[in-house]
Amino acid sequence: MSSKKLLMTFPVTATSHQLADYRARGGYATLEKVLRTMQPADVTKEVAASGVQGRGGAAFPAGRKWGVINLADGQPHYLCANADEGEPGTFKDRWILENAPHLLVESMLIAAYALEVRHAFVYIRGEFDLPYRRLAGAIEEARAAGYLGAPLFGGAFSCELVAHRGAGSYVCGEASGLLTSLEGKRGYPRNRPPRLTVKGLYRRPTVVNNVETLANLVNILRDGAAAFKSHGTPKNPGTRLISISGHIAKPGVYEIEIGYPWRTFLEEDCGGMMNDANLKCVIPGGISTKVLTASEIASLTLDSESVESAGSSMGSGGMIAIAEGTCMVRLLQVMLRFYHHESCGQCTPCREGMGWLHRIIDRIVDGQGRKEDLDQMLRISRMNDGTTICGMGDAAGYATVGILAKYRDEFDYWIEHKRSRYDGNLECRPST
Amino acid sequence: MPTIYVDGREIQADKGDTVLQAALAAGCDLPYFCYHPALSIAGSCRVCVVQVEGRSWVEIACNMPVTEGLRVLTDSDLVREHRAAMLELTLLNHPVDCGICDKAGECTLQDYHYEYHGKASVSLEPKVRATKQFPLSSRIVLDNERCILCSRCVRFTREISKSNGLGIQERGDQSLVRASEDGAFEHDPYSDNVVDLCPVGALLPRAFVHRSRVWYLKATPSVCPGCARGCTVQIWHRKPEWAFKALDPAKNTRIERVTPLANPGVNGPWICNKGRDLANIFERARALQPMLRGQPATLDGAVFAAHVLIASAKRPLALVSSWGSNEELAAFAATLGTGMPSFVKADWLPMPGEVVEDEILIRADKNPNTAGALARFPAWDGQFGDADVVVVWGEGVAASRIPDSAAVVRFGSYADADAASAHVFIPISVQTERAGHYTNFEGTVSAFERCFDTRANVADAEALFPLLAESTKATA
């Protein structure tokens, strides 16, 4: 537990999410410092210098995204925090929204100042009840305290912040689908070009950042980019919130310094596997990232380069630990049911491919599988690779290919014997 | 003017074009479903894939801006593989019921399948079932199983007709095109255009369902007479070589359907619903019998009687049809028109419930050639004065309006009480039985061609007027 923390730095109490407690922790001082001493372009420079990468899953450097915004183009710009945390296994933004909503508000005001934004939005997942109430409360408190909708610290800058609740669609967590939904339309993702930083919300330059990415801004600007870069790895600085679930002894949200050894994280921080089961594999960051076996992660550290070297990615930080004895056929069935259910239906490969994959795996589980079905599933995954409007088709393909590549023998077993190899093998209930 | 290279061929593209637009303009053959030149880019069908030279992946051409020197391949192995894959996926839940589908023969999905894929489905899974023959409006039925969700119809109601009458419900492979609950689609006067936009047989006009196979039909270019816009249309009717010999011969001379004839200068690719229903105009009960005061006469006899009446007139008055073609109007001006005061009347006025005028196509003047007629004759003020003989060409002047003191010579096409009460009635042909030109309100002249033969005992106005004038001269 030697990991340095930047976000989970305070004890969670009944009032720790409120403005008074946040101010007592030094809240809104960074905003004042930035607004009084820095120019907007300097803030962007500082963020770019920090090298902070997007925490939503794509790991795109935030500074580069911001750099596309031309402050002198005479257009309104928009900022939107992506709080539509829908990737299965991921619940780390929820911790920020529940326990440090003011950190998000302050960070968004800093980002709004840097990007000349007058209207910022938080698109929050509709299923998030407590997080929404906490965020709405924080916005109210901030407005009452004069941080929102009024000129700040004697300057001309003011910004309005609106929290918008989604209606429960996975695809609306994709940045362009999110903006389309925010505009009040059907949440279909959009084709690129144009990029959202050129034509986003209401066809204006828009920055969409993950909640955790934004939450890091206060740290970066309070202590400077150099201090932020001293954490994590040189290419992938800072800390990450990891939400871990599955057959793990202590599931929950953990903050780790990027580059933290994976095994240490699982065995020491998370208390090892439930009931001392053996680890079979890990889904690193949401089910859209390729699964890694226990032996593959043995020498890996929790940073983008290390995980990508093993052919997967850190994704959204939604880690799922899977114990020995878990049936991967059923696991894939659950995943594909999810993708089929959540496909928005806009573009052909995903609309038809997801249903096709789901129906094939259902048939295999029903005992009607054929040997060639597995190749057919790989072929459908390939049809979706890079051909869809958003990344969902690819993601489902990665999940399928990842599991089929490593656990094909389990599928062959099911097809041949019409049942799981692991029926009754998994005993992972928590000990009472 | 950026230069791009499609399969090595040099193409001059317009700045701001997409690769698909530039390639289609240069005559390249690229398949597409969701793209339409008049609608926004959806980029959802993913069939128009191309490969930029040197890249190992494909991209859609409809959303790829042209850049100077861009080199794309439309027929590489990778493109062919992906195109076939997209067609395979498009067809996955499509019922492939071409045998009973009215779109068969003019269906893009059918064409592309044979051209770019051509294999049977490898899927064992049951197809997704959805509603069939769903009443989208009183005019249009929707087969959701055939629908490939290209969203052209939805975009049409948003961007062109602006009724916002259609949308998509549900998601994924359960998505359904549906009409909005406020009934906007039912009242959209342009709703039938979505049928032409539909690349498959999902949207079909009720009036055409199971009416005819398209390959038995011939499309004759024509002009819609419904208003002064003069939209160019195609009138579809049975091909003469496929004429029914045993069944009702009327099937050979009926209008099966009307579709727009794309004409950027007048109507673009659209027409309104009234233009689809030309059969309601031309297939009313026809007048096929020349009559003298309601009594049957021969055509020659009626022509002679008309000429005697006109020649003996002291104060004749002629009311010219705004449905006459430019050729007929010129014939009238050169013959009968020289001998008597002639005025242009409005044959048709807006009907109750009809859209009078809008900002898209529909004009308040419900006659096709008012402009052409007014170029030759003054407008009629509605007065008969002390005329002793009134010549009425076409519709719009009921017998009851004409003073009893005046004798009436009528040239008309439809059987009604006015025809029977005229002193002389000569039946004339309708637009589908002759060729000619109309001048629309903007002065654009459009041609219509003959669909059917002229009926027996029915005169062509253009030939009739000189005949009457000849007789006039002979007697004078």
Q: Say if B232 falls within a structural domain.
A: no
CATH number at residue A335: 1.20.1440.230
Q: Are residues B445 and B363 in the same domain?
A: yes
**What tokens were used for B20?**
């698909």
For residue B297, tell me if it sits in a domain: yes
The residue of A348, A358, A371 whose CB has the most chain B CBs within 10 angstroms, and thus the best one to mutate to test that interface, is: A348
Q: Is residue B157 part of a domain?
A: yes
Residues B60 and B190 in one domain: no
- Check residue A423 and give its pLDDT: 80
Residue B146 has pLDDT above 70, yes or no: yes
Mean pLDDT score across all residues of chain B: 94
Question: Are B364 and B408 part of one and the same domain?
Answer: yes
Residues of B in contact with A348 (CB under 8 A): 44-47, 86, 89-90, 148-149
Residues B362 and B307 in one domain: yes
Domain interval for residue B305: 291-475
Q: Which of these three, B45, B68, B92, is where a domain ends?
A: B92
Say whether residue B1 is in contact with chain A using an 8 A CB cutoff: no
In chain A, the residue whose alpha carbon lies closest to the alpha carbon of B173 is A351
pLDDT digits (tens, 9 = 90+) for A356-380: 999 999 999 999 999 999 999 999 9
What local confidence, expressed as pLDDT, does residue B170 receive?
A: 93
The reply to whether A269 and A337 lie within a common domain is no
Residues B300 and B430 in one domain: yes
Same domain, A29 and A139: yes
* Listed residues A288, A323, A358: the one ending a domain: A323
Question: Alpha carbon of A66 to those of A17, A52, A69, A179, A211: distances in Å?
Answer: 28, 12, 6, 17, 15
The residue count for chain B? 476
The reported pLDDT for the residue numbered B247 is: 86
Supply the ipTM of this predicted assembly: 0.91
- Hey, are the CB atoms on B89 and A383 less than 8 Å from each other? yes
Q: What does the pLDDT average to over A213-235?
A: 94
What's the whole-number mean pLDDT along residues B435-444? 96
Q: Is residue A1 part of a domain?
A: no
Looking at the domain assignment, is residue B281 inside a domain? no
Average pLDDT, chain A: 93
Looking at residue A255, which CATH number applies to its domain?
3.10.20.600
Question: Do the domain assignments include residue B216?
Answer: no
Confidence of residue B339 (pLDDT cuts 50, 70, 90): confident
Boundary of a domain, candidates B192, B210, B228? B210
A314, A285: one domain: yes
pLDDT in tens, A376-431: 999 999 999 989 999 999 999 999 999 999 999 999 999 999 999 988 666 555 55
Whether residues B179 and B308 fall in one domain: no
pLDDT at B469: 79
Say if B419 falls within a structural domain.
yes
Are residues B137 and B18 part of one domain? no
Whether A235 is covered by a domain: the verdict is no
Last residue of one domain, picked from the residues A190, A207, A229: A229
**Total number of domains constituting chain B:** 3
Query: Could you tell me if B393 and B337 lie in one domain?
Result: yes
Output the pLDDT for position A3. Answer: 67
User: Per the structure block, which two tokens stand in for B45?
Assistant: 């069908």
Confidence band of A57 (pLDDT split at 50, 70, 90): confident
Binning chain B into helix, strand and coil, the percentages to the nearest 5 are: 30, 20, 50
Cβ contact (<8 Å) for B89 and A346? no
Cross-chain Cβ contact B126/A347 below 8 Å: no
Contacts of B43 in chain A (CB under 8 A): 191, 347, 389
Cβ B88 vs Cβ B117: under 8 Å:
yes
Are residues A214 and A308 both part of a single domain?
A: no
> B46–A193: do the CB atoms touch at under 8 Å?
no
Residue B317, domain CATH: 3.40.50.740
* Same domain, residue pair A298 and A248: yes
Q: Using one digit for the tens of pLDDT, what is the confidence trace for A98-115? A: 999 999 999 999 999 999
| Closest Cβ–Cβ partner in A343, A345, A347 for B46 | A347
For residue A402, being part of any structural domain is answered with yes
pLDDT band at A58 (very low <50, low <70, confident <90, very high): confident
Residue A333 phi/psi, 5-degree rounding, is: -60, -45
Contact A348 B46 (CB under 8 A): yes
Query: A75 to chain B nearest CA, in Å?
Result: 21
Which residues lie closer than 8 Å to B356 by C-beta, 6 or more apart?
B350, B362, B364
Tell me if chain A has a CB within 8 Å of the CB of B86.
Answer: yes
Residue % of chain B over a pLDDT of 70: 99
Containing domain of residue A225, as a range? 19-229
Any B CB within 8 A of A194 CB: no
Q: State how far the Cα of B293 lies from the Cα of B418, in Å rounded to an integer.
A: 10
pLDDT tens track for B1-16? 899 999 999 999 999 9
Q: Does residue B108 sit within a domain?
A: no
Q: Name the residue among A148, A120, A142 with its Cα closest to residue A214.
A: A120
pLDDT of residue B475: 45
What CATH number is associated with residue A130? 3.40.50.11540
Look at chain A and report how many structural domains it folds into: 3
* Size of chain A in residues: 432
B407, amino acid identity = A
Which residues on neighbouring strands pair with residue B296, listed in sequence order? B291
B296-331: per-residue pLDDT in tens? 999 999 999 999 999 899 999 999 999 999 999 999
CATH number of the domain where residue B68 is located: 3.10.20.740
Give the mean model confidence (pLDDT) for residues B328-338: 93
- In this structure, is residue A11 part of a structural domain? no
Same domain, A79 and A39: yes
Domain termination residue (choose one: A306, A323, A340): A323
